Structure 1
């Protein structure tokens, strides 16, 4: 499984917002992060809709964090940015797309791998990512 640019840009935007005292507008963030303004706006609106950001309208509007960086998990950020639960493989959530799960030797292994990845993504906070950068 690969994270898309949406996940990468969501993380970059959240890290950027962490350092600021006031709402951050899309125009400034897009310029500073060298990201398409329209794509970043779509990502930030999705994060706000999912309750990860506050969105403020108007001349002094923009986005702020809803909670402290240590309260955000990498899993919730990526799930929101990707608009789906992150999967190692299509079938790793326990559903075989070919309807042959009862004959698949890999399904239990992939489900286990998915559980381990989910736990790891839940254990990494936004604050952890900032500390390591």
Structure 2
């Protein structure tokens, strides 16, 4: 499973936003978390686009959680941060175009599909509230 710093930064940012009494801007978050501002801003925009964060404009603007922490799945956070669903192995994300043939023709594909399903179910059931 390839999770990059984007997922890590998303989780750290969501924790900081959760603790803030008022909307918090990307620059302030970047400074607090020692994260490059431009990279963090893209992550925050993706989280907002997916309905995890709400972006408020103006002098006292910034980001706030759009949902309660127990309503935000870790899988949704990863998808927003990474731009794709987490895949245990590369081939689970391109099964339909597998160079070894059709889905299920590989000897280990049943294992991979089962493993991916278990990971997806786990990440769907795990919320931001569970890990903070």
Once the two structures are superposed, the pairs formed by residues 1-133 of structure 1 within 5 Å of their partners are 1-93=1-93, 94-101=95-102, 102-130=104-132
- Match of 2:96, SS? coil
- How far, CA to CA, are the matches of 2:100 and 2:62 in structure 1? 46
Q: How many equivalent residue pairs?
A: 130
8 Å CA contact retained: 2:89, 2:112: yes
Cα offset, 1:96, TM superposition: 4.6
Report Cα offsets for 1:13-54 as digits up to 9, x if no partner: 001111112111111100110100110001001111111110
Distance 1:124 1:58 in 2: 34
Stretches of structure 1 lacking an aligned partner (at least 5 in a row): none
**SS where residue 63 of structure 1 aligns?**
strand
Q: Tell whether the 8 Å contact from 1:90 to 1:97 is kept in structure 2 after alignment.
A: no
Q: Say whether the 8 Å CA contact 2:30–2:36 is kept in structure 1.
A: yes
Question: How far apart in 1 are the matches of 2:105 and 2:26?
Answer: 49
TM-score w.r.t. length of structure 1: 0.92
**More deviation, 44-53/96-105:** 96-105
SS across alignment from 2:16: helix
CA distance in 2, matches of 1:108, 1:96: 16
Q: TM-score, normalised by structure 2?
A: 0.92
- CA offset at residue 103 of structure 1? 2.8
RMSD: 1.3
SS at the partner of 1:103? coil
